[in-house]
A and B are shown apart, each in its own frame.
Chain A
Amino acid sequence: MNNVQAKDLIQAKALGCLDPEDDSVMNRLMDEDDDFPWQELGQYQNLVAFLPTLLDTENPDQDVKDNVAEKLRQLEEERRALEMPEPEPEIEPQPEIDAEPEVEPVQESETEPEIESEINLENESEVRPEDIPEEINLTDSTELKEPPEQIIEKEEPDEITNTDPDIKIDDIIPEIKSSTKKGISFKDYGMPHIPLTEQERQREQLPEQERKKTVDEKKVEELKPDRVSRGPTQRLSRKEFENRNVKSHVSKTPPVEEKAPEVKQKRDKLGMITSIVLFIITLLVLAFMYFKFSEEIQQNKNEIDRLNKLIGSQEIHPDISNRLDIT
């Protein structure tokens, strides 16, 4: 019964002209009838689809393709936007980052054990406890209960001013450097500034007074804003930070090796110019002397000729004849 009903409707279904009621019946048959004539429906669907092949084909404008592409692009963007997770409430505007009281302790707790273990190893092997004063012994991290921001404010002056004459920073630096090579970035934990680059090492070898000066300038101009005023997400990466430090050192205290070639070059130029000037002066003097002597010689020759003439005419004055021993 159902099969007969379906066969009556199948052509109109394929043509897409069933009334809504018949269409509902047909859809129900398609869903429920196990004997539905699918094969026949397929044949009629293909048959009807041949109809447009008889039309004179016309191409759409190129703009249509562009529109399709644009719509697909928009759809993809919307889809991606929907798939993206919502922003976390922790990422807030600047004022809240500046405060950053909750974030910093997390860093501290994560990093503390590393610092402790590394430095303790160094202490055991090389660093002598008497060389490390109490104020500077930050390696004893078990006592660090304050947030790192407070540590920075407290400890930076120790490093920068270095007022205590007993503090031998140079003794400690190699140890700290060796520990940094093992992967600890002290900067990240608010530790005193440790020179890591070649320029910084050179700076460390400069006289105490000069070094103090550069460090003081740096403290005010660069270190403070980066470590204190910015939140952890806004801090410069270690590399960027180091690059900035290197640049500042280069601009403030250029190394001696960099100056020497310039001085040498200047000296060479000056010597060259002096030589040229001296050579020209010598030439001028020689020319002057040549002309002067030539003139004198000429004058003497003239005088001799004149005297010879006088001798020839024997009208020589007695004084002259006496002077010339002419008898």
Chain B
Amino acid sequence: MEDYKSFTDSQLMQKVSEYDSKSLEELYDRYSPILYTLIKKIVADQKIAEEVLTDIFVIVWEKSRKIDLPINNVYTWLITLARNKAIDRKRRDESTEELPEYNDDYENDYVIPRLSKFIDPLDLNNALSVKENFEGALNDLTDAQQYVLYLAYYEGKTENEIAKKLNIPLPTVKSKIKVALTSLKHNLITGA
């Protein structure tokens, strides 16, 4: 009897890619709280958040047969997947315009994360372990920088939409985003 709780995220994802449903269950137990919290923050509705969370794990299971799952960085892949899916749902629920049909191609292009080929390994435990440092690094940003990051990440707005919303030029928005993330990274590394 295998003890799935002792498995690392990478081991679990490896087993999911081998169609081991127990591994997916363990992955759900580990990640559902943070993913659900993130999704609910974006869609602001419990029922929709639950639906999106369900969809996330269905996608993981289905894609395990079709794509190479990120074995070495499960955390970033799942967080990005949940964010993309929730933003897509939010846009579809709120948009008055006709959006592209949600099909397999669309999902692959716009929902499934495309992580860097050379990304450092990261799992849930490691991510949570740097939470305080990250909070400090974020707090060192200006309010405008934090707000731009908020609009982009949680509201799902593009640079152009942010510019319109804040009534500022697009290059300014691009610059703010670039500077905000560069500073955040710097603050986190230096521990400032």
Contact = CB atoms under 8 A, between A and B. Distances in A.
Describe A's contact surface by its main secondary structure: helix
Contacts of B49: 60
Contacts of B135: 54
Which interface residue of A18, A19, A20, A50 has the most chain B CB atoms within 10 A? A50
Describe B's contact surface by its main secondary structure: helix
Given A17-B158, A72-B61, A52 B152 contact: no
B149 A58 contact: no
Given A43-B185, A51-B153, A54-B138, A65 B28 contact: yes
Contacts, number: 158
Given A38-B117, A49-B75, A49-B127, A65 B32 contact: yes
B158 A18 contact: yes
Interface in A252-284: none
B58 A52 contact: no
Given A12-B177, A19-B158, A47 B33 contact: no
Contacts of B53: 60, 64, 68
B185 A61 contact: no
Contacts of A45: 76, 80, 113, 115-116, 119
Given A17-B177, A49-B127, A58 B159 contact: no
Nearest to B73: A46
A47 B79 contact: no
Nearest to B180: A11
A146 B111 CA distance: 68
A44 interface: yes
Contacts of A51: 138, 149, 153
B73 A19 contact: no
A55 to B, nearest CB: 5
A72 B134 contact: no
Contacts of B71: none
Nearest to B21: A72
A103 interface: no
B15 to A, nearest CB: 15
Contact of B130 (A43, A50, A63, A64): A50
Contact of B134 (A11, A16, A27, A54): A54
B119 A42 contact: yes
Contacts of A14: 181
Given A42-B115, A47-B188, A49-B127, A17 B157 contact: yes
B159 A18 contact: yes
A215 interface: no
B83 A16 contact: yes
B34 A75 contact: no
A46 B37 contact: no
A314 interface: no
B38 A15 contact: no
A19 B164 CA distance: 13
Interface string B77-113: 0011001100100000000000000000000000001
B5 interface: no
Contact of A55 (B37, B152, B177): B37
Given A17-B159, A54-B134, 14 more contacts: A8-B174, A12-B174, A15-B181, A17-B177, A18-B158, A18-B159, A30-B114, A42-B115, A49-B122, A54-B131, A57-B34, A60-B49, A64-B32, A64-B54
13 contacts: A8-B174, A16-B152, A17-B153, A17-B156, A19-B158, A39-B116, A44-B185, A53-B127, A54-B131, A58-B37, A58-B40, A68-B53, A71-B58
Enumerate the 8 nearest inter-chain pairs by beta-carbon distance, A residue then B residue, closest first. Answer: A42-B119, A42-B116, A17-B152, A11-B181, A52-B38, A41-B116, A49-B76, A60-B36
